[in-house]
């Protein structure tokens, strides 16, 4: 037996949800460029869960269901107040809160397709309430109740800030949600599928996936990008800092990808949005620094930016705290995780690969007194 390090190039399952072929990303055969320019996040959720776009009444029904299910149990809100609050990363809070949600779902252990679909709606609805409520409670503010007439994207921004978002903010946030919704067998989606392939429940799958997304080699990179931009501070410092990092063989967060070779097709949408928003905010330096970093890294290492790079300056321009960037990724990717969980249940087999053993050969047990 020989192993592929990091399972590179291994085809581990079949899926009808999203594909990356020749650096083109599609959700159910729809090019991501088309969806990013035209679709609402709710339409994409429907697409991923049903493998077709919704008709008008189906979309209206899903929107209503999501809006109706956004409230979270008071116990979860109270739990947030018991954390040593300044030290808790919002991804850790989210991981715990989603697991806790399962304790209050009477259908948590029901394993039929209808019950699993109902849970998918509830989890997708409640996850943005969890992130926004935690963000407010840790600052000593009261959570803001969702408005049922707002879109998913608008509701998130409204629940976070307590004020009505501007149209351009909703447009940017909706686009970001669409772009992050699914991505074939990335690490967190694979994690979700492995967890539920044991026939464990949906909450276990999402909780496991959140844990996998949190790391800086995956979803956690967007927060690290903003940390790097903040540390660099100004366009004239970019060359010195980035050249030094590259010379020291440090990874530049937001660059590189296991699958894409020519570049991540999602990055250009976020680059355009970053340019637009930083101009409106009169904070063009974040965009200009990002552009200069891209020039240096692609010039020296042939490593294009991934989805995490420009999302950082987009979220910053939406006045979002930097440690909420990865939870926002989770809010969107929950739709993809749920699609993959439902697909896994529909055609399940335990996922259990092998390991190539590289330890010592056969050894004889020696009693502790003789070692
Ligand atoms: C949503 C997402 O998850 S997108 C990815 C988000 N993650 C990041 O942006 C973190 C930075 N990027 C990385 O760490 C990697 O590019 C990954 C994790 C995304 C992909 O990793 P892998 O396919 O395993 O590539 P690996 O880490 O082995 O890198 C291959 C080579 O490119 C270099 N490299 C890869 N990414 C970077 C980077 N961002 N900066 C500098 N060098 C890099 C590696 O150092 C390595 O060089 P070497 O062969 O000289 O040792
Ligand atoms: O596919 C991957 O490996 C990582 C990624 O870009 C994503 O999850 O969006």
| Residues 116, 107: Cα–Cα separation, whole Å | 8
Q: Whose CA is nearest to atom 44 of ligand 1?
A: 251
Query: What is the tens place of the pLDDT at every residue in 156-165?
Result: 999 999 999 9
CB 271 near ligand 2, within 6 Å: no
For ligand 1, the distance from its centroid to the CA atom of residue 178, given in whole angstroms, is 24
For ligand 2, the distance from its centroid to the CA atom of residue 74, given in whole angstroms, is 34
Verify whether residue 257 is a known catalytic residue. Answer: yes
pLDDT of 2: 84
Query: What is the tens place of the pLDDT at every residue in 23-33?
Result: 999 999 999 99
Q: Which one from 257, 269, 316, 340 is the annotated catalytic residue?
A: 257
* Fold of the CATH domain 221-317: Cytochrome p450-Terp; domain 2 (1.10.230)
pLDDT of 84: 73
Among 233, 144, 189, residue whose Cα is nearest residue 329: 189
Mean pLDDT, residues 137-143 taken together: 94
Mean pLDDT, residues 70-86 taken together: 89
Query: What is the tens place of the pLDDT at every residue in 225-244?
Result: 999 999 999 999 999 999 99
Is the pLDDT assigned to residue 86 strictly greater than 90? no
pLDDT of 167: 97
Domain ranges of the chain: 20-214+324-346, 221-317
Mean pLDDT, residues 90-102 taken together: 97
Backbone phi, psi, residue 305, to 5°: -70, 150
Give the ligand at the shortest distance from the Cα of 217: 1
Verify whether residue 37 is a known catalytic residue. Answer: no
Candidate of 249, 251, 301 to mutate for ligand 1, largest count of ligand atoms within 8 Å of Cβ = 251
CB 330 near ligand 2, within 6 Å: no
* Fold of the CATH domain 20-214+324-346: Citrate Synthase; domain 1 (1.10.580)
ipTM: 0.99
Among 41, 134, 34, 64, residue whose Cα is nearest residue 49: 41
The DSSP annotation for 97-135 comes to: HHHHHHHT-TTTT--SHHHHHHHHHHHHHHHHHHHHHHH
């Amino acid at each position: 037996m020989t192993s592929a390090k990091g399972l590179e190039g291994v085809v581990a399952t079949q899926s009808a949800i999203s594909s990356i072929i020749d650096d083109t990303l599609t959700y159910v055969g729809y090019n991501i460029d088309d969806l990013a320019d035209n679709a609402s996040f709710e339409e994409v959720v429907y697409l991923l869960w049903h493998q077709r776009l919704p008709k008008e009444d189906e979309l209206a029904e899903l929107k209503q269901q999501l809006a109706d299910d956004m409230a979270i149990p008071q116990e979860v809100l109270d739990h947030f107040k018991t954390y040593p609050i300044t030290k808790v990363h919002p991804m850790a809070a989210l991981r715990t809160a989603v697991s806790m949600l399962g304790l209050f779902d009477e259908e948590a252990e029901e394993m039929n397709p209808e019950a699993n679909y109902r849970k998918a709606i509830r989890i997708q609805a409640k996850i943005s309430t969890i992130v926004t409520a935690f963000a407010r409670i840790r600052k000593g503010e009261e959570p803001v109740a969702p408005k049922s007439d707002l879109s998913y994207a608008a509701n998130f921004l409204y629940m976070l800030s307590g004020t009505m978002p501007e149209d351009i903010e909703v447009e940017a946030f909706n686009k970001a949600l669409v772009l992050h919704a699914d991505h074939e067998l990335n690490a967190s989606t694979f994690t979700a599928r492995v967890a539920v392939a044991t026939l464990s429940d949906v909450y276990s799958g999402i909780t496991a996936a959140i844990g996998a997304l949190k790391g800086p080699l995956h979803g956690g990179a967007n927060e690290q990008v903003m940390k790097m931009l903040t540390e660099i501070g100004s366009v004239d410092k970019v060359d010195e800092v980035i050249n030094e990092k590259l010379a020291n063989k440090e990874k530049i967060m937001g660059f590189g990808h296991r699958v894409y070779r020519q570049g991540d097709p999602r990055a250009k949408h976020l680059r355009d949005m970053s340019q637009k928003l930083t101009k409106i905010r009169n904070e063009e330096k974040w965009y200009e620094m990002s552009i200069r970093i891209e020039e240096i890294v692609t010039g020296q290492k042939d490593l294009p930016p991934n989805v995490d790079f420009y999302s950082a300056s987009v979220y910053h321009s939406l006045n979002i705290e930097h440690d909420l960037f990865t939870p926002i990724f989770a809010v969107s990717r929950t739709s993809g995780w749920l699609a993959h969980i439902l697909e896994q249940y529909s055609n399940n087999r335990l996922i259990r690969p092998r390991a190539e053993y590289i330890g010592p050969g056969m050894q004889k047990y020696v009693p502790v007194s003789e070692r």
